[in-house]
Amino acid sequence: MWTELKAPSLAEIEVIAQGVFARLPDRFRALCEGVVIQIDDFPTEEVLDEMEADSEFDLLGLFQGTGLPFRSNDDLPRLPNMIWLYRRPILDYWAEHDETLGHIIRHVLIHEIGHHFGLSDDDMAAIEAKAD
């Protein structure tokens, strides 16, 4: 039976991510209105260079845009905030760790939403440490 199994496609990862997002608290989701969640196999070369990544497998996700605390009503119209989830690095991480795929996608999605809220990686690490 296992010989028939395949890695989840971009569309299947998107379904998982949308399901995770739908189960987040209403107040949390309301603050994400207009945020676009995009699934891609890998980050672009430009993103890898900008993030100083050593490998295309280094980034599981990315937030692009202006975080909520940094917005102003006087700002010019801009592109929507985007969250990228990178399928192949997520699957690679999943293969190497004892976590479910849904848990990994949930963690990456919430982490990137944290950037939308204006939190830094250090802020989120501190929050996770307190939760543990």
Closest residue by Cα to residue 86 from 102, 101, 103, 108: 108
pLDDT tens figures, 54-83 = 999 999 999 998 777 666 666 666 778 999
Average pLDDT of span 9-18: 96
Closest residue by Cα to residue 84 from 14, 8, 4: 14
Segments making up each domain of the chain, as ranges: 9-67+79-131
Whole-angstrom CA distances from 16 to 44, 58, 89 are: 22, 21, 16
Question: Into which CATH architecture does domain 9-67+79-131 fall?
Answer: 2-Layer Sandwich (3.30)
Q: Which contacts qualify for 124-127: CB closer than 8 Å, 24 or more apart? A: none
pLDDT tens figures, 109-128 = 999 999 888 888 888 888 77
Check: CB of residue 56 under 8 Å from CB of residue 104.
no
Check: CB of residue 60 under 8 Å from CB of residue 110.
no
Give the neighbor-by-neighbor strand order of the sheet with 82-86: 36-40, 82-86, 61-64
